[in-house]
Amino acid sequence: MIALDTNILARFYVEDPADPEAAKQRPIARRLLTESAQVFVPLTVLLELEWVLHAFYGFATEDYVRVVRHLLGLPNVTVEEWARIADALVWHTKGLDFADALHLLASSDCTKFVSFDDRKFARRAHRLGVKPVVVVPD
């Protein structure tokens, strides 16, 4: 089994005609994902992929969710903690940042998650009623 980095997944899912490297790398990425017997995608790669697709390529939330759901459905792909990723995608579609959703899900045995991010994280988490409760310290 081989593990894939974020840049391989980005090349697989993004058509970037303005980038000359893409013309060389995209066919390789396609071959790796479609012809390899088994590939592994670490959780951290999916976290970074969200950032790359959103910040660099301008993907909307629903586009990123579609990419990851496609990836999760490929028969030769094993994704680390796929159940947590699937849950994080649900919260992400409801307004939580993908990373924040992963943080909360990893902290599910805790009573509180403390953050200074009141506007984007704590308020959205409260609105969604997710657990653990996000608390902003005074």
pTM higher than the cut 0.85: yes
Q: What is the predicted pLDDT for the residue at 136?
A: 93
Average pLDDT estimate for 106-123:
92
pLDDT one-digit tens code per residue, 34-61: 999 999 999 999 999 999 999 999 999 9
- Neighbouring residues of 60: CB distance < 8 A, sequence distance ≥ 6: 54
Which DSSP state fits 52?
A: I
Which DSSP state fits 116?
A: S
Q: What is the predicted pLDDT for the residue at 79?
A: 95
Q: What is the predicted pLDDT for the residue at 90?
A: 95
Q: What is the predicted pLDDT for the residue at 138?
A: 86
* The two structure tokens encoding residue 50: 């969200």
* Whole-Å CA distances, 123 to 8, 47, 126: 35, 22, 5
Confidence of residue 17 (pLDDT cuts 50, 70, 90): confident
> Are the CB atoms for 43 and 102 separated by under 8 Å?
yes
pLDDT one-digit tens code per residue, 59-112: 999 999 999 999 999 999 999 999 999 999 999 999 999 999 999 999 999 999
Residue 119 pLDDT > 80: no
